[in-house]
Amino acid sequence: MRQLRDLKGRFELHAVTPRTLEEIAELCGWALARAHARTGDAVALGAYLGGGENFDEATAAFAVAYADQAERDHAALARVVARGDLEVETGPA
C-alpha cells in the first residue's frame, strides 16, 4: 500500500480569495516539483533542464493554454446546461 493516510488538505473554494488561490497553486506546484525531484537524480534532472528559462517558459505557456481550454470547456458545459440538455445536481446550500 503506497498511501497509509489521507493527508490531503481541503478548503472551501467559495471562500477562497484570488490571492489565497494563487498561494494554494504555488504550494501545490512546489509539492509536485519536490515529489518529482525525489523520483530521480535531482542533479541529473537539473543538468538536463539546464539553467535557462526554456523549461520555465514552456511550462508557463502550457499552463496558460490549459487554463484557456478549461475555460472553453466550462463555457461549453454551461451552454449545454442552460439549454436543458444536461441535468445538474447541486449540493446542499
pLDDT digits (tens, 9 = 90+) for 13-32: 788 899 998 998 898 888 88
User: Which amino acid appears at position 73 of this protein?
Assistant: D
- pTM to 2 decimal places: 0.51
pLDDT digits (tens, 9 = 90+) for 70-91: 999 999 999 999 999 998 887 6
